[in-house]
Structure 1
Amino acid sequence: MNHSNKIWTKNFIVLFVINFILALIFFLLVSTIAVFSVENFQTSTSIAGLLSGTFVIGSLFARLGAGRLIHKVGSQKVLLAGLIGFLLTTGLYIFISDITLFFLNRLLHGCSFGIASTATGTIIAQIIPPSRRGEGIGYYSLSTILSTAIGPFLGIFIVTQTANFSLIFLLNFIMAIIILGLYFLVKVPTIETAPQEKKGFSISQFIEFRALPIAIVAMVLGFVYSSIMAFISFYTEEIGLVKAGSFFFLIYACVVLVFRPITGRLMDQRGANLVIYPCLALFASGMLIYSQAHHGYMIILAAILIGFGYGSFNSIAQAIAIKVTPKQRLGLATSTYFMLFDLGLGLGPFTYGLLIPHIGFRGIYLVAFIMILISIVLYFLLHGKRDRQLIPLPTNN
């Protein structure tokens, strides 16, 4: 484990870049795949949403096994397997023209992403000093935030300027080659091994129950946020605010880049509740404004509020899942957290796609606003009322 209080080590930086590119490919696709589906396969919005969400469903199922694999053989081997699978499935987008095979590849692509990202998240949890976990995970999660800005912006730019989806697929394949090469620079300080387990099946071999409460809240909020990711292009076109919508993720990311390290440090020093409740209130305010946007500045304001609210919540929630878990089960805690988070992200686009014909885009965003309000109560019941300011954080030794 760490023998210093340093966060930005060589391992941390390499894993930061790997996770950035993994997430960049994910967000580049998730922001364009629904449009690709409608234009190339002439699908409905619900099927387009399902095609977008299939990736996340694949990731969910893979995480279920990835946590146990890490528990048994170590995170470094699991990371290599995930990156190889990710490279192969990224390349297949270039060649597939049948919608059934496209669905299958989206599923397998999601599986490989789930395996690789669970491994990177576990290694990060191992190498960050325990007393700086909130801050360290806040920094690490900026790799995902950068990708949320660059991925959709780049994807929408390529589609609108060239209408060439093959260019997106080729770019992704090149980036997948790069991160496989970067893998060989990663050195995990100690290979974690699983303690002797009782024979027979147990759900605890796949799920870390201590991480489950905060993961459930993250699942609900992932479901909410997916409504923006999957349908922002359709929504802003319908309300005539495409230009403002194209800057949404860029502004969102800039806000998170500024505030996430601060909120992570606050969590380490003052506890999670001080950060979580204001974040959820700001997220709800941003979603309400977004649902009623009639001018470009309203989209921009929503991006700022959602960036501060949801953007800060996600890393704090992940830090909570790790903080409450013994070090030998960090792989299971990471997979449990992201498995439920992925479930929310995956079910969201399909569910909203079914609702859009009945209540419209503004309707689904009002539903999302109500769900955020419910999540505030849910957080209090599942974790908030029991949250303790564990200062300094336990080393789990």
Structure 2
Amino acid sequence: MNGSVLRAPGMPLLLAMTALGFAGYAALLPVAPLWVVRGGADAAGAGLVNGVLMLFTVLTQLVVPGALRRLGWAPVLVAGMVLLGLPGIAHVLTDDLAPTLVLAAVRGLGFGVLTVTGSALVAELVEPARRGQAIGAYGLAIAGPQVLLVAGAPWIAERLGFGVVFALAGLPVLGVVPAIGLARMLHHVPEPQERAPYLRLLRPMLLLLGVTLAGGALITFMAQMSSSAPLTVLALLVMTTMAALTRWRVGLLADRYGPQRFIWPLVVNTAVGMTLIAWAVRDPEATSAPALLLGTAVVGASYGALQNLTLLVTFASVSRPHYGSASAVWNIGFDAGTGLGSVVVGMVAAATSFSAGMLAAGALALLTLPLALRRPSR
């Protein structure tokens, strides 16, 4: 990794805030659905937990750019970290579905702030020539907690208790400290002189939505569709590790060769990986470990790399006053995909099987291939 990117003013604070925020998010992503299943919910109810989280995340992302212009960085960043962290701790009070959905909604408010501000700050702090590497470093700050907690949180809940996971979900509150330090370094967000070019932003958003729909389904339901708890942990570890590595390393390639040539093979890769996973979980009592691990590695590679590449395409489409809006659109694609993966696959699985749900997610991802093959408009 280029050390000069890490030494850019504000980058260490951004990475610290991001890691703490995403630690709280990642801890509950696989565990909150398990928590309500323990309370009596079915697969559809479990899918609603992350679906509601992402719905309120997306709704918040729509207003964050305007809030930054009106209120400034400090109040928005601090509010986001508090709203993401405190409700995570409150899960310990009940495993009923309805109050858990309320907590998911409040967490979504905080996560919406974290995601829009975090990716916008990468563009604010680092010049375009090194932005792929900066996005890679930012991606590692996101992926590090996910590698540990998306894979490990179900194990922690089973072995040490759900309360330990809920304590980890409160880590974003500690992110208030770097958030305040970061806000003191930043200039006020300028008012745009023209409307953001939303049509140009639609293509990378939909490409991202396709792969995060698949990834969101895997994160939400891996523990339920795998016949072995250790295999669940290993599969999620493989997926998140591959995502971290590809999101980091593809930034170097994109800075050198541009992002476009890598996008369409990764879309196909997603569909292939989901097909392998569907075959692996066809028997609820005997998951095929080799197929599951290979499939999660394949999907994880696309999941990480497409996050970096689509964000690069997004920021290349706008000028600085529109970084906040561009970040919001990109994050809407990410979180809408994650939420849809949770809800759609949950509904398909409740009606048929998890194997059918995985095939459906792969097919939906493949529908974005025409967009991947089309050159972006200028």
| TM-score, normalised via structure 2 length | 0.90
Counterpart of 2:307 in structure 1: which amino acid? Answer: N
Worse-matched range after superposition: 269-278 or 186-195: 186-195
Q: Give the C-alpha shift of residue 351 in structure 1.
A: 1.7
Letter paired with 1:132: R
The answer to whether the Cα contact below 8 Å between 1:221 and 1:375 also exists between their aligned partners in 2 is no
Letter in 2 for 1:220: G
SS of match in other structure, 2:188? coil
Residue 143 of structure 1 corresponds to 141
Residue 276 of structure 1: aligned partner:
263
Contact 1:80 1:116 survives alignment (8 Å): no
**How far is 1:37 from its partner?**
0.3
CA RMSD of aligned residues (A): 2.3
Tell me the amino acid that sits aligned with residue 301 of structure 1.
L
In structure 1, what residue type is equivalent to 2:120? T
Partners of 2:202 and 2:53 lie apart in 1 by 22
Cα offset, 1:261, TM superposition: 3.0
- The question of 1:265 aligning with 2:255 is answered no
User: How far is 1:292 from its partner?
Assistant: 0.9
Q: Counterparts of 2:148 and 2:49 in 1: how far apart (Å)? A: 22
In structure 2, the partner of 1:395 is: none
Deviation at 1:208, TM superposition (A): 3.9
**Residue of structure 1 in register with 2:206 after alignment:** 216
**Unaligned stretches of 5+ in structure 2?**
281-286
C-alpha deviations, 1:288-310, integer Å up to 9, x for none?
Answer: 21111253122221222122222
The one of 98, 102, 126 aligned to 1:104: 102
* C-alpha distance in 1 between matches for 2:138 and 2:85: 22
Percentage identity across paired residues of the two chains: 18
Q: Does the CA-based 8 Å contact 2:61-2:332 persist in structure 1?
A: yes
Is the Cα contact below 8 Å between 1:215 and 1:340 reproduced in 2? yes
Q: Which residue of 1 aligns with 2:221?
A: 231
Aligned residues: 368
- Aligned equivalents of 1:286, 1:150: Cα separation in 2: 22
8 A Cα contact 1:72 1:194, kept in partner: no
Given that 2:345 and 2:360 are in contact with CA atoms closer than 8 Å, whether structure 1 keeps it comes out as no
In the alignment, which residue of structure 1 is the partner of 2:46? 48
The whole-number CA distance in structure 1 between the counterparts of 2:81 and 2:351 is 41
Specify whether residues 99 and 295 from structure 1 end up closer, same or farther in structure 2 by C-alpha distance, changes over 3 A only: closer
In 1, the alpha carbon distance for the partners of 2:168 and 2:244 equals: 25
The alignment's TM-score, normalised by the length of structure 1, stands at 0.86
1:6 aligns to what SS in structure 2? Answer: helix
Provide Cα deviations, 1:259-317, integer angstroms capped at 9, x if missing partner: 33331122222222221122222222222211112531222212221222221111111
* d(CA) in 2 for partners of 1:188, 1:124: 14
| Alpha-carbon shift at residue 64 of structure 1 (Å) | 0.6
Q: Is the 8 A contact 1:49 1:349 kept in 2?
A: yes
Shift of 1:195: 4.1
Report if the CA contact (8 A) 2:54-2:336 is conserved: yes
Corresponding letter in the other structure for 1:329: H
The answer to whether the 8 A contact 2:210-2:366 is kept is no
Q: Which residue of 2 aligns with 1:180?
A: 176
For 1:23, the aligned partner's letter is F
Any conservation in 1 of the 2:245–2:304 contact (CA below 8 Å)? Answer: no
Tell me whether 1:321 sits opposite 2:321 in the alignment: no
Range moving further from structure 2, 176-185 or 133-142: 176-185
Unaligned ranges ≥5, structure 1? 198-203, 389-397
| Cα distance in 2 for residues equivalent to 1:358 and 1:77 | 44
Aligned AA (1:218): L
Q: Counterpart amino acid of 1:363?
A: A
User: Can you list the C-alpha shifts for 1:336-390, whole angstroms capped at 9, x where unaligned?
Assistant: 111232112112212211111333011111112222222212323xxx32378xx
Deviates more, 1:68-77 or 1:336-345: 68-77
Q: Give the aligned partner of residue 190 of structure 1.
A: 187
Aligned residue identity for 1:288: T
- Please give the alpha-carbon distance, in whole angstroms, between the structure 1 residues aligned to 2:307 and 2:109: 21
Distance in 2 separating the partners of 1:295 and 1:352? 20
CA deviation after TM superposition for structure 1 residue 189, in Å: 4.0
Matches within 5 A, 1:45-124: 45-96=43-94, 99-124=97-122
Counterpart amino acid of residue 179 in structure 1? G
For the pair 1:386 / 2:376, whether they are aligned, the reply is yes
**From 157, 163, 166, the counterpart of 2:163:** 166
Instruction: Say if 1:76 and 1:188, in contact at 8 Å, map to a contact too.
Output: no
- Residues 126 and 375 of structure 1: CA distance in aligned 2, closer, same or farther (over 3 Å): same
Q: Partners in 2 of 1:210 and 1:80 — Cα distance?
A: 31
Kindly indicate whether the alpha-carbon contact (under 8 Å) linking 1:94 and 1:169 is maintained by their aligned counterparts in 2.
yes
Report what 2:347 is aligned to. Answer: 354
Matching residue of 1:251: 238
1:372 equivalent among 359, 365, 378: 365
- Tell me the equivalent position of 1:25: 24
Compare 145-154 and 256-265 and name the one that shifted more: 256-265
Give the superposition deviation at 1:234. Answer: 0.9
SS of 1:115 mapped into structure 2: helix
Find the counterpart in structure 1 of residue 296 from structure 2. 303
